[in-house]
Structure 1
């Protein structure tokens, strides 16, 4: 199902093998020579990529964004909410929206973990399509509550523990509390609402329709996620893979970024963006670096020999 919108963004739905309905937003010319597929992070929506989508599509690149299952306008299917499932979803989006031609995959935070999971669980897709891959503010090992040794990080870790443990162990009580929050609050639960615009809802509305039990299920998966020693297909792409992070990332510590680089010795690791935090695609100083990397990858993918693609 596809629909054009006044914004020029085409909205469509990809249905996965377990019945999840992923809302996809496509910008740029339909016959562009290269497609960039953007995957967002935990408690965000495809809107986090709005700056990159605007600039890339204006430059003639086709851009595909989507809301992760249980986020934004996408609804979960029958399968458990895990990072492995998000990787399978990304593979579905690639096959459904861009079965042929050069592609660039860019994943931020949990979206980067989904891309790494594709490489670990679906290496045949990586070998067949040979995408350029941008791994942004992400890790190949489990999410950590404490992202570093600075005292401020410990304070933030305590705050995260203060809400993550009740979410994980008392979802019904958390739902009651969330229904009492003001409707504009990020954690408010309003399952009857829906963002009807052609563009993705802002990230502050990412989980307004998501029951706490589903958020908890995904958070537990993030806390046990690991693709280390499983990234050989991705490493074989060599300089088609680039790692980007912010100097002040308070979710993914630099130690995890360095571990990812060790797992991908042939990839290019950029120097951390000075003064930038975790939400790099929209960071006031970091967004330009993300756009530059992805834009250059799109140009390189366009110049590279065409990859083959047959149905999986």
Structure 2
């Protein structure tokens, strides 16, 4: 895949079936041979993929990033905020932005859960598009407060519970506090704030327009989510599915990564990235591994597509 000058990021809107307006950012050539569609995690924005978007688009890959509903500049829509809904959003993003051609899907954390839900609820799309899928720091089972059984893990669980439960059960009170926070605080609530640039807002602005009740609704879904024993559509993809995680991830522990690997016995499981935590796409030591894997997957998708096209041409009647 030859390197190409990266066009500027283009911003567009995909309107879902429940009228949510999802903000989409496109990098790279419009008519590239392969498209990478990147789905970010909880309380983040499409900016989480900035390193990968820059590198992949420079290599001639078309890159689609989007703000999940109720994150960044995307609207919450009218449907319940659940992981199932995010999986349906991903299906509609694929159909709206990349109706044909080879694709690489990458999901980080909650974005990976959206990809797994897509496979569980929309197996026809998986069979039709035959994508390559990167599951990054994600799980097929519910989010956990405690990442393990070490005493330090229970301390972390207590700290997480101390703010997650008030958010879930007293969202109006939390909104009052959030409106009084300094505007630069990542939890400040500034629903009138508008992000006017074509590039995604930074992660610290992920929740500026999101009331606490919507954040809590999605967190409750994360706490009950599972796609275990529902991923048969991915069996045929085998090693087209790749699993990547950080060795010191304290949100999705290695036990959950191993369970995901058991659910997908044909998947390629990478060695955990030493010294890397949960936010692998932007992690100081982990982002290069994510970029390397996605670049290799895009190269493989393009080679497979070119090989198929060549075979079809040779078999065509003169």
- Taking structure 2 as the reference length, the TM-score comes to 0.93
* Aligned residue runs from structure 1 range 1-312, under 5 A: 8-305=8-305
DSSP 3-state at the match of 1:100: coil
**1:119 Cα shift?**
0.2
DSSP 3-state at the match of 1:13: strand
DSSP 3-state at the match of 1:281: coil
2 CA distance for matches of 1:249 and 1:256? 11
DSSP 3-state at the match of 2:252: coil
Tell whether the 8 Å contact from 1:7 to 1:198 is kept in structure 2 after alignment: no
Q: What does the per-residue CA deviation read over 1:101-126, in whole Å, with 9 as the maximum and x for residues that have no partner?
A: 00000000000000000000000000
**1:7 Cα shift?**
7.6
Q: What does the per-residue CA deviation read over 1:16-41, in whole Å, with 9 as the maximum and x for residues that have no partner?
A: 00001100000000010000000000
**1:152 Cα shift?**
2.6
Q: What does the per-residue CA deviation read over 1:155-182, in whole Å, with 9 as the maximum and x for residues that have no partner?
A: 2211110110001001100100111111
**1:289 Cα shift?**
0.5
1 CA distance for matches of 2:55 and 2:76? 30
2 CA distance for matches of 1:276 and 1:305? 33
- Give aligned pairs, total: 303
Q: What does the per-residue CA deviation read over 1:202-234, in whole Å, with 9 as the maximum and x for residues that have no partner?
A: 001100100000000000000000000000111
Tell whether the 8 Å contact from 1:83 to 1:225 is kept in structure 2 after alignment: yes
Name which one, 1 or 2, has greater alpha-carbon Rg: 2
Tell whether the 8 Å contact from 1:107 to 1:113 is kept in structure 2 after alignment: yes
1 CA distance for matches of 2:57 and 2:32? 9
DSSP 3-state at the match of 1:11: strand
DSSP 3-state at the match of 2:64: strand
1 CA distance for matches of 2:148 and 2:194? 37
**1:235 Cα shift?**
2.1
1 CA distance for matches of 2:7 and 2:234? 35
